[in-house]
């Protein structure tokens, strides 16, 4: 397949051209989270010819994801494939010329340096503020640009963060939201809202990679696809007094270790046990007497009513009650 043919319609676009296309091929982008936003943005960037994509996600594909997470299909959900692995396989089927690296892990203060250190650009496609503040700390500390994106129900929001030039996440929101935060598990989500924000994020990423910095949006943009309400707040310069930008206190990066057990989703808990590798064959034999067990190379699933446990090779487990 000829390079020129594949990208011909994009090269025709004056903002990209031949030079922009070769810059995209050299680009290194890390996508943190591969739910709906991550699936959208990684598919668009892969099709656009961004040369190196790292896709980080801790979760596996479930039937309730298929409504909006456009890279996955029913067989991925039946196999409980990790999202990062499923995404990487799908991308290879439509663009085998780029490199993708799937990483099945939580992004933590311990591994963020090795996973994000080489990135030209970091894309937030997570579903939680804990990880976003961690990305913000790392990005500001090392002067790496990142793009915040979030969606819930019919509402979506995004902002480009260029350390030293624009406000950072902590400038705009000095502390994470308190109390109950609406999530896709409580408020639902329209697939169009999340794919809209992924598309805007992908476009900003392409502008950055081809060097069209004057075209990058300098606002916090929000859009409600149901009410059609939209708003833009100037993100401006780094705010004076910002704990992260100005004081350079990277509290999330320094972070006390995460609690051993965290809630994820409405009826699930995650047990963070890293670096305690599990032998799936041996574990299957042990659990087989207590319930139903099934495993592949990536996950082991165990059912005993009313619980379902998903175990990863590094010892991390997600336990779900029905």
Tell me if 220 contacts Zn ion by CB under 5 A: no
Tell me if 30 contacts Zn ion by CB under 5 A: no
Instruction: Round to whole Å and give the CA distance between 184 and 265.
Output: 9
Nearest to 82, CA basis, from 95, 101, 68: 101
- Report angle CA 68, 74, 80 to the nearest 5 degrees: 95
**Within 77-136, which residues bind Zn ion (CB under 5 A)?**
none
The residue within the footprint of Zn ion, chosen from 244, 264, 295, 316 (CB under 5 A), is 244
CB under 8 Å to 122, separation ≥6 — which residues? 29, 30, 32, 116, 135, 138, 139, 144, 145, 146, 147
Tell me if 168 contacts Zn ion by CB under 5 A: yes
From 75-83, 186-194, 245-253, 296-304, span contacting Zn ion (CB under 5 A): 245-253
From 75-83, 90-98, 242-250, 251-259, span contacting Zn ion (CB under 5 A): 242-250
Q: Which helix (H) or strand (E) holds 300?
A: strand 300-304
Query: What are 179's two structure tokens?
Result: 């109390």
Strand-strand pairing, 268-271 and 261-263: antiparallel
Minimum CB–partner distance for residue 175 and Zn ion (Å): 12
Query: What are 36's two structure tokens?
Result: 């709906």
From 74-82, 191-199, 235-243, 285-293, span contacting Zn ion (CB under 5 A): 235-243
- What is the maximum alpha-carbon separation in the chain? 64
- Compute how many residues bind Zn ion; rule: CB under 5 A: 6
**Shorter beta-carbon distance to Zn ion: residue 72 or 133:** 133
From 101-109, 168-176, 216-224, 292-300, span contacting Zn ion (CB under 5 A): 168-176
Query: What are 141's two structure tokens?
Result: 């500390």
Instruction: Round to whole Å and give the CA distance between 212 and 204.
Output: 9
Minimum CB–partner distance for residue 152 and Zn ion (Å): 24
* Phi-psi region at 265: left, alpha or beta (left = phi > 0; alpha = psi -120 to 50): left
The residue within the footprint of Zn ion, chosen from 159, 242, 311, 318 (CB under 5 A), is 242
Minimum CB–partner distance for residue 239 and Zn ion (Å): 6
Minimum CB–partner distance for residue 8 and Zn ion (Å): 41
Confirm if 65 and 94 have CB atoms less than 8 A apart: no
Minimum CB–partner distance for residue 124 and Zn ion (Å): 15
**Shorter beta-carbon distance to Zn ion: residue 149 or 168:** 168
From 20-28, 123-131, 234-242, 274-282, span contacting Zn ion (CB under 5 A): 234-242
From 45-53, 99-107, 189-197, 239-247, span contacting Zn ion (CB under 5 A): 239-247
Tell me if 166 contacts Zn ion by CB under 5 A: no
Residue indicated by tokens 């937030």 = 124
Confirm if 321 and 306 have CB atoms less than 8 A apart: yes
Tell me if 235 contacts Zn ion by CB under 5 A: no
Residues lying near Zn ion in the complex (CB under 5 A) are found at 168, 170-171, 242, 244-245
């Amino acid at each position: 397949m000829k390079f020129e043919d594949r990208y011909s319609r994009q090269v025709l676009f004056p903002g990209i051209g031949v030079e922009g296309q070769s810059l995209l091929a050299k680009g290194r982008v890390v996508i943190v989270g591969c739910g709906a936003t991550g699936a959208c943005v990684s598919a668009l960037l892969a099709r656009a010819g961004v040369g190196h994509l790292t896709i980080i996600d801790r979760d596996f594909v479930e039937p309730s994801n298929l409504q909006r997470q456009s890279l996955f299909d029913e067989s991925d959900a039946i196999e409980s494939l990790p999202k990062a692995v499923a995404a990487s396989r799908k991308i290879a089927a439509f663009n085998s010329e780029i490199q993708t690296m799937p990483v099945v892990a939580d992004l933590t203060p311990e591994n963020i340096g090795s996973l994000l250190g080489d990135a030209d650009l970091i894309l937030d496609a997570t579903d939680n503020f804990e990880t976003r503040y961690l990305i913000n700390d790392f990005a500001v500390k090392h002067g790496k640009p990142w793009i915040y994106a979030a969606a819930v129900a019919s509402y979506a929001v995004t902002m480009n963060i260029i350390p030293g030039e624009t406000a950072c996440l902590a400038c705009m929101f000095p502390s994470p939201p308190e109390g109950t935060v609406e999530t896709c598990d409580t408020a639902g989500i329209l697939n169009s809202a999340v794919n809209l924000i992924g598309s805007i994020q992908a476009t900003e990423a392409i502008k950055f990679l081809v060097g069209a910095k004057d075209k990058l949006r300098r606002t916090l943009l929000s859009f409600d696809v149901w009410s059609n309400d939209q708003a833009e707040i100037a993100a401006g310069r780094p705010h004076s007094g910002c704990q992260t930008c100005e004081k350079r206190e990277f509290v999330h990066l320094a972070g006390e270790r995460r609690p051993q057990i965290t809630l994820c989703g409405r009826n699930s808990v995650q047990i963070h046990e890293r670096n305690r590798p599990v032998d799936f064959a041996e574990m299957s034999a042990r659990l087989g007497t207590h319930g139903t067990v099934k495993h592949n190379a990536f996950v082991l699933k165990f059912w005993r009513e009313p619980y379902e446990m998903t175990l990863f090779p590094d010892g991390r487990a997600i336990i779900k009650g029905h």
